[in-house]
């Protein structure tokens, strides 16, 4: 089982739609969670961190469910410019040595917003 799993999509939605992505992680002791955005053939960039209480940034809402070990990203009122791949990222646990705080990337979910 992969440490971080996402539905690769693609998700094809019309402008103005609401779309939600889920991501599951296998290690219950994982410490922190993020969504990164990656445009075609470009570098990933941090979209938002995901907090236990849930957090919102404009049209984007991220939520964490530790009991079920998944995180979600909700995009409201989709824009053409939202077309990209969204990477779910989980930070590993602190071991005291070795790869402390390692970031583990999901393979990404592709969103295509159409006019």
- Binding residues (CB under 8 A) for other proteins: these are 8, 32, 41-46, 87, 91, 98-103, 105-108
Q: Which is nearer to other proteins, 76 or 91 (CB)?
A: 91
Q: How far is the CB of 103 from other proteins (least distance, A)?
A: 6
Q: Which is nearer to other proteins, 71 or 78 (CB)?
A: 71
User: Cα(50)–Cα(64) distance, rounded to whole angstroms?
Assistant: 7
Q: Which is nearer to other proteins, 32 or 69 (CB)?
A: 32
Q: How far is the CB of 75 from other proteins (least distance, A)?
A: 20
Report CA-CA distances (Å) from 88 to 72, 102, 107, 108. 9, 14, 8, 7
User: Residue 46 in contact with residue 38, Cβ under 8 Å?
Assistant: no
Q: How far is the CB of 34 from other proteins (least distance, A)?
A: 9
Tokens of 110: 């592709």
User: Cα(70)–Cα(24) distance, rounded to whole angstroms?
Assistant: 4
């Amino acid at each position: 089982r992969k440490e971080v799993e996402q539905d690769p999509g693609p998700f094809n939605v019309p402008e103005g739609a609401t779309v939600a992505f889920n991501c599951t992680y296998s290690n219950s002791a994982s410490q922190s969670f993020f969504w990164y955005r990656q445009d075609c053939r470009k570098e990933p960039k941090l979209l938002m961190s995901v907090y236990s209480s849930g957090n919102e940034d404009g049209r984007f809402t991220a939520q964490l469910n530790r009991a079920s070990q998944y995180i979600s990203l909700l995009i409201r009122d989709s824009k053409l410019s939202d077309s990209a791949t969204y990477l779910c990222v989980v930070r590993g646990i602190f071991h005291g040595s070795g790869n402390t705080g390692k970031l583990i990337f999901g393979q990404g979910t592709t969103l295509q917003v159409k006019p």
